Every structure is written in structure tokens, then in C-alpha cells.
Amino acid sequence: MMDEKKIARINELAKKAKSEVGLTPEEMVERDLLRQEYVAAYRESLVAQLENTYIVEPDGTKHKLGKKQ
């Protein structure tokens, strides 16, 4: 998971991009890299959660959630 400083920086850059000042080319690159890192961490977290998800049948049996075919 990403640390709070990086998430705060993403939010700061997003706010600056919406303002009249805008972003410099270096800040745009930084923003894109931080966003890619955030999305990768989010996906990793989601995959880990789904790998630990079980379906409970009406008869009480459990089986792991499989990959979509």
C-alpha cells in the first residue's frame, strides 16, 4: 500500500492541476508516475482480497472464488 505522503502529494498535484497555475512538465511526469504506483497498489490489494474470498454454498460447503473463465 502507498504511504500517506504519496497520496497527499497526488491530491496536491490534482488540486494544482485544476487551479489557474497548472502543472509544470516535471510535475505532470511526477503525477503520472504516482498515479501508476497508486493503481498498481490498488490492484494488488484487490487481488489479495479476492484470493482470500470463499463462496459458502447453501449446504455449508466452502470453495475458493475461481478466476473468471
Which tens digits make up the pLDDT trace of 38-63?
Answer: 999 999 999 999 889 999 999 999 98
In whole angstroms, what is the distance from residue 65 CA to residue 7 CA?
Answer: 31
Note the pTM of the prediction, 2 decimals: 0.76
Domain count for the chain = 1
Q: Which of the pair, 59 or 66, is modelled with greater confidence?
A: 59
Return the CATH number at 52. Answer: 1.10.287.540
User: Pseudo-torsion of CA 15, 19, 22, 28, nearest 10°?
Assistant: 20
- Give a yes or no: residue 69 inside a domain: no
Which residues span the domain enclosing 35? Answer: 4-64
- Give a yes or no: residue 35 inside a domain: yes
pLDDT at 6: 95
- Give a yes or no: residue 53 inside a domain: yes
Q: Which of 17, 40, 39, 41 is nearest to 27 (CA)?
A: 17
